Amino acid sequence: MSPEKGRVYYSPMEQFFLSRLGLLLGHQRSSQDLAALAPWRRTLIGKAIYSTYRDLVDLGLATEAEEKLQSYIRPERKS
């Protein structure tokens, strides 16, 4: 059976880092609502996001990483 046309398959490592970036971005978004979050925790989350982004760039997934970051910066509006 041939793979679906246009479908992209990721290795387990690629899936791990794509998933990690999504989880970290979600954690950062939910943490922004907490005014009491310590500054060092915000910094730590930001560094983890950057590190994961760089890992994705090294894996050749810069486009996918940037799409995730853009969707975080400008979330889709629901009508």
Query: Over the stretch 25-37, which tens digit does the pLDDT of each residue have?
Result: 998 887 666 566 7
pTM over 0.85: no
Q: Give the separation between CA 25 and CA 31, rounded to whole angstroms.
A: 10
CA angle 22, 24, 27 (to 5 degrees): 110
Residue closest to 49 by CA, chosen among 32, 35, 65? 65
Q: What is residue 68's predicted lDDT score, i.e. its pLDDT?
A: 95
pLDDT tens for each residue of 3-61:
556 678 999 999 999 999 999 999 888 766 656 678 888 889 899 999 999 999 999 99
Q: What is residue 70's predicted lDDT score, i.e. its pLDDT?
A: 94
Domain ranges (residues) in the chain: 15-72
DSSP string of 40-57? HHHHHHHHHHHHHHHHHH
